[in-house]
């Protein structure tokens, strides 16, 4: 579904978001308990996959367009973590 540029961008944004999660957990967040995470991750993966297949099958978007949209969304998520951490620390934050 991803071309090489999208894959690289998506992986970089995922890593940045992961760094934001790790920072919040190190600051005391309890949102990362194993069961809480596993259920949330599995549910999100199933729902996203089903939606992607449905949209592409109905011709509403192409697989390329879907990959571009989720890559952009992951980059936005990483920026939200940067903003939250910057607000907490007063520092300029670049996670990616």
**How many separate domains does the chain show?**
1
- Residue 51 CA to residue 54 CA, distance in Å, equals 5
pLDDT per residue of the chain (96 residues) written in tens, 0 to 9 = 789 998 899 899 888 988 888 888 888 877 777 767 777 787 888 889 999 999 999 999 999 999 999 999 999 999 999 999 999 999 999 998
Q: Identify the pLDDT of residue 17.
A: 84
* Residue 21 covered by a domain: yes
Residue 79 CB contacts under 8 Å (≥ 6 apart), including other chains: none
* Residue 71 covered by a domain: yes
Q: Which domain holds residue 15?
A: 4-89
Q: Identify the pLDDT of residue 77.
A: 94
* Residue 39 covered by a domain: yes
Q: Identify the pLDDT of residue 82.
A: 95
Q: Identify the pLDDT of residue 60.
A: 98
Distance of CA 84 to the CA centre of its chain: 15
* Residue 95 covered by a domain: no
């Amino acid at each position: 579904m991803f071309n090489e540029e999208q894959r690289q961008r998506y992986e970089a944004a995922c890593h940045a978001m992961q760094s934001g999660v790790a920072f919040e957990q190190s600051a005391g967040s309890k949102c990362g308990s194993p069961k809480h995470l596993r259920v949330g991750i599995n549910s999100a993966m199933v729902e996203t996959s089903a939606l992607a297949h449905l949209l592409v099958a109905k011709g509403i978007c192409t697989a390329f367009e879907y990959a571009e949209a989720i890559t952009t969304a992951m980059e936005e998520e990483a920026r939200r973590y940067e903003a939250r951490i910057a607000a907490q620390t007063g520092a300029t934050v670049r996670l990616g």
